[in-house]
């Protein structure tokens, strides 16, 4: 083995450490949002965590000396990319208010399969029959979790709620395909900064338009109530939770950027599936959630199909993209 190969292996190992830390931060982020969802609106938590995350990222930009590269070459593309990430995160977080962490996380992992399908349909990339079969198996896992044969009444959460993580995954896949088509010209810290600024703007708009909670009156959907209920000033003993949410948010962006900078996507991305057991653990430890047989079966199909896609894309020499940015 040459010195360069040894150095490359060390970079890949550091990348794996960073992705595992990032997945831990993501699981803590999701757990905190679910923990606070019965007392605070989603847009308040998004605003608070983005404000703190923005301060941390500005410090990283300063350390990297990236001020001169903050303005993107294609600002409208970066805005569209950030908006898609915001929509993906908001729909996923709205799902956390009404369903188990493991269920929402498993459904979101249909994203890499959607990326594969959209890359073939929109970018003309060649996808062989084996990867198309994996995509079909993954979406079969979604159907297993939705259980259309069980009837619409009496399901908790409702099927409409179960579609929220799927919608988040599709928005995320669209963002990744857009990035793959046009490329990213800004440094990773700047890309993370754009996302936090967009989250901050969305949270501020929600506060101005719906911060008094008037649009939540008479609404039956728990997810919509979570999105539209009024802002509440946290008591002193809960302020640290908002601070932790902001720090975790900044940590996610930094760790993912470092992971995918140090290692190729096909090596790093499969480790993102560690969020599934972490979600099951937090759900059991804090909320008494135990996944049912249909959830476990559907999650196994989705995860297995996704990991197969990663393995095939690595074999054909093209990295699979799946960092959960902005989470």
- Answer whether residue 276 is part of any domain: yes
Q: What is the pLDDT of residue 151?
A: 56
- Answer whether residue 325 is part of any domain: no
Would you say residue 227 has pLDDT above 50?
Answer: yes
Would you say residue 323 has pLDDT above 60?
Answer: no
Pick from 164, 163, 143, 147: nearest CA to 155: 147
- Domain boundaries, position 275: 3-315
Would you say residue 24 has pLDDT above 90?
Answer: yes
Q: What is the pLDDT of residues 156-204, one digit of tens each?
A: 567 778 889 999 999 988 877 776 665 555 566 666 777 788 889 999 9
Q: What is the pLDDT of residues 241-282, one digit of tens each?
A: 999 998 898 888 778 777 877 777 667 778 888 999 999 999
Q: What is the pLDDT of residue 265?
A: 67
- Answer whether residue 123 is part of any domain: yes
More confident residue, 2 or 193: 193
- Answer whether residue 322 is part of any domain: no
pTM score: 0.82
Q: Could you tell me which residues come within 8 angstroms of residue 206 by beta carbon, excluding any fewer than 6 positions away? A: 41, 43, 46, 47, 227
Q: Taking residues 287-297, what's their average pLDDT?
A: 91
Q: Is the peptide bond before 157 cis (omega within 30 degrees of 0)?
A: yes
Number of domains observed in the structure of the chain:
1
More confident residue, 277 or 319: 277
What is the spatial distance between Cα 7 and Cα 260, in angstroms, rounded to a whole number?
16
- Answer whether residue 50 is part of any domain: yes
């Amino acid at each position: 083995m040459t010195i360069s190969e040894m150095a490359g292996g060390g970079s890949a190992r550091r990348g794996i450490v960073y992705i595992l830390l990032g997945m831990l931060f993501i699981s803590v982020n999701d757990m905190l949002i679910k923990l606070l969802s019965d007392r605070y609106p989603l847009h308040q938590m998004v605003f608070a965590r983005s404000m703190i995350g923005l301060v941390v990222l500005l410090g990283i930009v300063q350390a990297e000396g990236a001020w001169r590269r903050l303005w993107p070459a294609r600002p409208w593309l970066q805005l569209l990319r950030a908006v898609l990430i915001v929509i993906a995160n908001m729909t996923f977080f709205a799902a956390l208010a009404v369903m188990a962490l493991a269920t929402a996380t498993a459904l979101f992992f249909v994203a890499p399969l959607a990326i594969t399908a959209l890359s073939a349909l929109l970018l003309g990339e060649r996808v062989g029959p084996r990867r198309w079969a994996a995509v079909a198996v993954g979406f079969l896992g979604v159907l297993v979790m939705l259980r259309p044969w069980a009837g619409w009444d009496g399901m908790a959460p409702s099927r409409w709620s179960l579609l929220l993580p799927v919608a988040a995954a599709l928005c995320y896949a669209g963002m990744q395909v857009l990035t793959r088509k046009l490329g990213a010209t800004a440094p990773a810290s700047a890309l993370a900064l754009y996302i936090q600024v967009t989250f901050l703007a969305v949270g501020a708009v929600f506060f101005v338009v719906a911060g008094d909670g008037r649009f939540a009156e008479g609404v039956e959907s728990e997810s919509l109530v979570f999105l539209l209920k009024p802002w509440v000033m946290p008591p002193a003993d809960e302020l640290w939770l908002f601070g932790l949410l902001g720090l975790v948010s900044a940590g996610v962006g930094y760790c993912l950027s470092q992971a995918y900078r140090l290692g190729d996507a096909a090596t790093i991305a499969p480790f993102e599936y560690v969020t599934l057991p972490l979600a099951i653990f937090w759900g059991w430890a804090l909320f008494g959630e135990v996944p049912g047989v249909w959830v476990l079966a559907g999650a196994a199909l989705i995860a297995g199909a996704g990991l197969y896609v990663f393995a095939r894309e690595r074999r054909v020499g093209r990295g699979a993209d799946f960092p959960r940015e902005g989470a």
